[in-house]
């Protein structure tokens, strides 16, 4: 192996230059793990959730840009972003495997330090749900403590989801979509529409004629598939660590997490598989 000292061009003088750590803001980032107990495994718990929040920030970055691209009719640009979202989701899913190394006996040593803090309160997760079309106004109450954050969530609630703009893309391609569907209240969770199902069915029956829409549909299926896998791993990890105890945020815990597994973001894209 070549010795690093033989690399004559390596920069070592950073008195007046930006370093790697400065660019990435590593000092504040790596000093943000503040354990509230003296327990060794609390560090694992904090880092797993912080890393997941960073990945969610990138998911939102990509989803927001892909929604804008679809609105502009630039579907090929959206495909790259959505493919990246799916890869990010795989990373978040694997994080549950790391957290699963935390045993019930270990977690109980510091769980009370969380108070009522819970992943249920993750505003970024709520924004991802909003971006995918699952809109719930009652969760906004959680964020009243921070007016700026509450405003951010409220604005996200009133924006069209990626499925809303995908349905608009169906109409732009000449497929018949009712005006009431195109102009629906985007603050309400989408429930499904027979005309939208018929349009997607036509896309899947004639993929050569609607190749971009066909590819868009499969990208959406990828994202929902991965999200449901993330939800399932979340539920099983919680069950493994705390069983059927209530969540620190007041939810029913595993019982609640099992219920959300039933929700479908893009119902027609799943239903047409039976009808093809």
Return binding residues for substrate: 45-49, 107, 111, 248
Query: What are the binding residues for heme?
Result: 234
CA terminus-to-terminus distance, the chain? 58
Q: What is the largest CA-CA distance in the chain?
A: 69
Question: What is the Cα–Cα distance from 78 to 75, expressed in whole angstroms?
Answer: 5
Query: What are the binding residues?
Result: 45-49, 107, 111, 234, 248
The residue assigned the tokens 């699963």 is 100
Cα 160 from chain centre: 16
CB-CB contact of 139 with 194 (8 Å):
no
């Amino acid at each position: 192996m070549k010795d690093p000292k033989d690399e004559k061009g390596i920069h070592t003088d950073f008195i007046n230059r930006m370093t790697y750590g400065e660019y990435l803001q590593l000092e504040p980032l790596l000093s943000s793990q503040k354990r509230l107990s003296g327990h060794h495994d609390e560090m694992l718990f904090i880092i797993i959730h912080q890393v997941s929040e960073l990945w969610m920030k990138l998911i939102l970055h990509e989803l927001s840009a892909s929604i804008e691209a679809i609105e502009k009719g630039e579907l090929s640009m959206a495909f790259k972003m959505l493919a990246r979202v799916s890869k990010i989701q795989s990373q978040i899913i694997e994080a549950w495997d790391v957290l699963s190394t935390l045993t019930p006996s270990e977690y109980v040593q510091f769980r009370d330090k969380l108070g009522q803090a819970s992943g249920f309160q993750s505003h970024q997760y709520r924004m991802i749900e909003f971006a995918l079309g699952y809109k719930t106004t009652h969760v906004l109450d959680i964020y009243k403590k921070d007016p700026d954050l509450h405003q951010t969530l409220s604005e996200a609630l009133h924006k069209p989801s990626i499925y809303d703009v995908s349905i608009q893309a169906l109409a732009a391609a000449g497929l018949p979509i009712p005006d009431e569907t195109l102009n629906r209240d985007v603050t309400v969770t989408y429930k499904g529409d027979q005309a939208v199902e018929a349009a997607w069915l036509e896309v899947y029956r004639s993929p050569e004629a609607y190749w971009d829409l066909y590819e868009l549909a499969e990208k959406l299926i990828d994202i929902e598939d991965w999200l449901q896998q993330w939800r399932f791993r979340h539920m099983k990890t919680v069950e493994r660590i705390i069983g059927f105890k209530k969540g620190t945020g007041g939810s029913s815990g595993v019982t609640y997490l099992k219920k959300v597994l039933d929700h479908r973001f893009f119902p027609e894209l799943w239903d047409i598989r039976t009808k093809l």
